[in-house]
């Protein structure tokens, strides 16, 4: 099964990098997306926020307000918390 997400969004919240007990860095952020999509031949406005995280972040400095293109996959936050979170595999700042 496929689980691939590609999304352009704006960073609306950004936490300082934290470290797991094994020392792995984790970047957590909140993304906001707004666009118009075509559904059944009609325009449909979409707007949502989505929690995201990146393990071993490789990017240079990111800031709240940056427009980014992210690719990754969706998963639940944990076994006990079914809320979806985007696991970022690649993130790049766009203009």
Q: What does the pLDDT average to over 46-60? A: 90
Mean pLDDT for the chain overall? 94
12 Cβ neighbours under 8 A, 6+ residues apart: 30, 31, 32, 49, 64
Q: Would the pLDDT of 59 be above 70?
A: no
Report the C-alpha gap between 87 and 8 in whole angstroms.
14
3-state class of 82 per DSSP? coil
What are the pLDDT digits (tens) for 12-21? 999 999 999 9
Q: Would the pLDDT of 60 be above 80?
A: no
Looking at the chain, the number of H-run helices and the number of E-run strands are 0, 6
Query: Going from the N-terminus, what domains does the chain have, and what CATH number goes with each?
Result: 5-93 (2.40.50.140)
pTM of the model: 0.89
Of residues 60 and 42, the one with the higher pLDDT is: 42
| Closest-CA residue to 28 (of 18, 39, 42, 41) | 18
């Amino acid at each position: 099964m496929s689980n691939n997400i590609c999304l352009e969004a704006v960073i609306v919240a950004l936490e300082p990098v934290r470290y797991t007990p094994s020392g792995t860095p984790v970047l957590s952020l909140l993304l906001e997306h707004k666009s118009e999509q075509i559904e059944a031949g009609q325009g449909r406005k979409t707007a949502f926020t989505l929690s995201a995280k990146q393990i071993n972040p490789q990017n240079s400095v990111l800031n709240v307000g940056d427009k980014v293109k992210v690719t990754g996959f969706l998963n639940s936050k944990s076994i006990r918390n079914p809320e979806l979170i985007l696991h970022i595999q690649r993130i790049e700042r766009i203009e």
